[in-house]
Structure 1
Amino acid sequence: MKKIKIFIIILFLFLFHNRYAFPENSDELYQKIDLFSEVLEKIKEDYVDDVDQAEVMDAAINGVLQSLDPYSAYMNQ
C-alpha cells in the first residue's frame, strides 16, 4: 500500500510539473495551429480554384510525416 501511495505522489508531481513547467511551448503550439487555420481559411476564400479541404489536410499530415521520416506516409483509409 505504501508503494502505491509513493507511486501516486510521484505520478502527480510529474504530471503537475509537465503541465506548468513549459506553458510557453503550449502557447506557441496553439499559435501555430491558429496560423495554420488562418492559412486554410485564406486558401478557401481567395484561391483561384476550388480546393478540397480534406485533400489539403491529408497533404499537410503527409508533409509532417515526411519531414520526420522520408519513408513514412499517411494513408487516409
Structure 2
Amino acid sequence: MLALVMTYVSLGAACGSSAPASVDGLRRVVGTDLVGARGATQADQRKIDRTVVGLCAGGVWTNAECLRHGEGQ
C-alpha cells in the first residue's frame, strides 16, 4: 500500500501540483472519501488512503508526513 501511495505522490509532484488557494480548492484536493470512514474495514482504509494521496499530492502534507502515514501498514 505504501508503494501505491508513494507512486501517486510522486506522480502528483511531477505534474507540478500546487497548494490550493481556497476552500473549494482544498476540497478538490482532499475530496470527500473520508466522510463516514471509521478505519474499521478495508474499505475505510482505502478511503483514508485516497484522502492521504490527495493531501500529499496537493502539498498539504510534507514528504515526511506522507511517509509516516504508510509506517503503520
Q: TM-score, normalised by structure 2?
A: 0.31
Structure showing greater Rg: 1
Structure with the bigger RCO (C-alpha within 8 Å, sep 6+) is 2
Structure whose residues are more often helix by fraction = 1
What is the TM-score with the length of structure 1 in the denominator? 0.30
